[in-house]
Structure 1
Amino acid sequence: MRAWHRKLILLLALLAFGPGAPAAANAWDLPPLVLPDLQGRRHSLYDWHGKVILLNFWASWCGPCLTELPHLAEFQRRYGSRGLQVIGVGLDNPRKLANVARTLEIPYPVLHSPVEQATALLQQWGDRAGVLPYTVVIGRDGRLVFSRVGVFDEEAFAAIVAPLLEP
């Protein structure tokens, strides 16, 4: 796909789902998400209310996921102080997820879901095909802003997330 095609698609998505447009969900009227992190502590998505949340579903066996994770880590490092919270949801064995998180020095929370619940969880969040990686962006007000199957790259971040971090 040509670069200008991708930019046009991202711009149209931002216009359709971005700030000021009708939101896909009411504030904090999102699917439930209460999962343990890699240390066993349970978290609710609401733990991060008031932040722009980039919720990323991934697995250790997913090649595109492993390509994407360093970018997400860099987004968290660069924009965390501006209100960004990346949250990983690993759909895999916690030991394998922890190994990837440690190796890549992931600086954001990684939650995990039992593999047998992965398909249902992805479908709840709008990924009907169950394809990974899958990313959801939630605004500071708890509204679903955008979702995407595939690698969430710098271009997508600039078009979708960066405007939400503006004061």
Structure 2
Amino acid sequence: MNKYLYRVFIGLVVLAGVCVVGGSIAQAATDHQRPRTNTMALPERTNNAWEMNPFHLKDLQGEMHSLEDWKGKVIMMNFWASWCGPCQYEIPEFVHYQQQYGDKGLQLIGIGVDEKRKLANVARSLGMNYPVLVLEPSAAGNLMRKWGNDAGVIPHTVVIDRDGRIKYIHRGQMDEEAFNTYVLPLLK
């Protein structure tokens, strides 16, 4: 009887292994067919940034800021780091957007998840013309989760309209198409 139970047990283990491998292959095939996206047009529930618990962070000059400092503007809040290649790639576009649309009410805010010195070097090198707030990496998880970034992926951009509603969340490097589709209409 023990030999019989042993054979049944081995058979179940093998069957379970086949199911796991087969399921993984099927999932991979399905994932390959699905279009990949790093964006969410709207959060599942639209939160108002002004009703959320405020955060206070220092900028590169040591001055304390809150998101409410830019109340009434269309805000692009971008989480980034000095070591992040995609972040550094998108920053020149953000500099251009701030320069071109700042007088129409656009306000970019960089939230650097890094050491102040490293962030300042990148800001100077890339000519960042918008505020850079310093977020200590040890505190980044909580603040990023609050703004829809459960995975801790950077870059991560949150777009807030003039009334404080979160209109768009972009995970990963933001491109011109996303800006034209989700940000530009808010400036009109």
- The structure, 1 or 2, with the larger RCO (C-alpha pairs under 8 Å, 6+ apart) is 1
Contact residue 23 and residue 145 of structure 1 kept, 8 A: no
- Counterpart in the other structure of 1:87: 109
Q: Partners of 2:77 and 2:137 in 1: how far apart? A: 18
Is 1:154 aligned to residue 176 of structure 2? yes
- Counterpart in the other structure of 2:64: 42
Q: Select 1:121's aligned residue among 133, 139, 143.
A: 143
- Can you give the 5+ residue segments of structure 2 that lack an aligned partner in the other structure? 1-34
Give me the TM-score of the superposition, normalised by structure 2: 0.76
- Counterpart in the other structure of 1:134: 156
Q: Which moved more, 1:134-143 or 1:119-128?
A: 119-128
Q: Which one has a bigger Cα radius of gyration? A: 2
Greater percentage in helix: 2
- Can you give the 5+ residue segments of structure 1 that lack an aligned partner in the other structure? none
Q: Partners of 1:86 and 1:48 in 2: how far apart? A: 10
- 1:32 CA drift (Å): 2.2
- 1:71 CA drift (Å): 0.7
Q: Partners of 2:49 and 2:56 in 1: how far apart? A: 17
- Report how many residues are paired: 154
Moved over 6 A (4+): none
- Secondary structure of the residue aligned to 1:99 is helix
Q: Select 1:69's aligned residue among 88, 91, 105.
A: 91
Contact residue 98 and residue 129 of structure 2 kept, 8 A: yes
Q: Partners of 2:153 and 2:55 in 1: how far apart? A: 19
Q: Partners of 1:152 and 1:85 in 2: how far apart? A: 16
